[in-house]
């Protein structure tokens, strides 16, 4: 009587978490690359916006 058994009828349900994980991984990599590659001067300028 467990709910999962009925869910198993959707083919390959387990793919969902895997897809999610991959999307996040990719997203994170792209973002991290951007952040690391961005130049320091630009970052410093931006971080001073509240203070000017």
Partner 1 sequence: MQVEKFYYDNKIVRAFAYATVLWGIVGMLAGLWVAIQFYAPAASLNYAGTTFGRLRPIHTNAVIFAFVGNCMFTGIYYSLQRLCKARMFSDLLSKIHFWGWQSIIVLAALTLFFGMTTGKEYAELEWPIDILITVIWVVFGINMFGTIIKRRESHIYVAIWFYIATWITVAMLHIVNSIEIPVNLFKSYSWYAGVQDALVQWWYGHNAVAFFLTTPILGLMYYFLPKAANRPVYSYRLSIIHFWALIFLYIWAGPHHLLYTALPDWAQSLGVVFSVMLIAPSWGGMLNGLFTLRGAWDKVREEPVLKFFVVAITCYGMSTFEGPMLSLKNVNAIAHFTDWIIGHVHIGGLGWNGFMAFGMLYYLIPKMFNTPLYSKKLATNHFWLGTIGIVLYAIPLYWAGFTQSLMWKQFTEDGTLQYPNFLETVTQIIPMYITRSIGGTLYLIGAFFMVYNLYKTVKQGSFIADEAAEAAPLEKAHSHAKEYWHRVIERKPMQMLVISLIVVAIGGLIELIPTFLVKSNIPTIASVKPYTPLELQGRDIYIREGCYTCHSQMIRPFRDEVARYGEYSKAGEFVYDHPFQWGSKRTGPDLAREGGKNPDSWHFMHMFDPRQVSDKSIMPRYPWLYQNDLDISTTPGKIRAMQTLGVPYEKGYDQIANTALETQAKEISFGLKTDSKVKQLMTVEGISNPEKKEIVALIAYLQRIGKDIKGGQKSKTAQASLK
What's the length of the chain?
52
Q: Which residues contact 13 (CB under 8 A, 6 or more apart)?
A: 7
Position 17 contacts partner 1 (CB under 8 A)? yes
Task: Candidates 11, 22, 32, 41: give the one binding partner 1 (CB under 8 A).
Answer: 32
Position 11 contacts partner 1 (CB under 8 A)? no
Residue 37 main-chain phi, psi, to 5 deg: -80, -20
Residues lying near partner 1 in the complex (CB under 8 A): 1, 3-4, 6-7, 9-10, 13-14, 16-17, 19-21, 23-24, 27-28, 31-32, 34-38, 42-51
């Amino acid at each position: 009587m467990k709910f999962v058994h009925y869910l198993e009828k959707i083919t390959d349900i387990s793919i969902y978490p895997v897809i999610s994980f991959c999307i996040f991984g990719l997203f994170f990599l792209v973002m991290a690359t951007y952040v690391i590659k961005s130049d320091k001067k630009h970052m410093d300028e931006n971080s001073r916006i509240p203070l000017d």
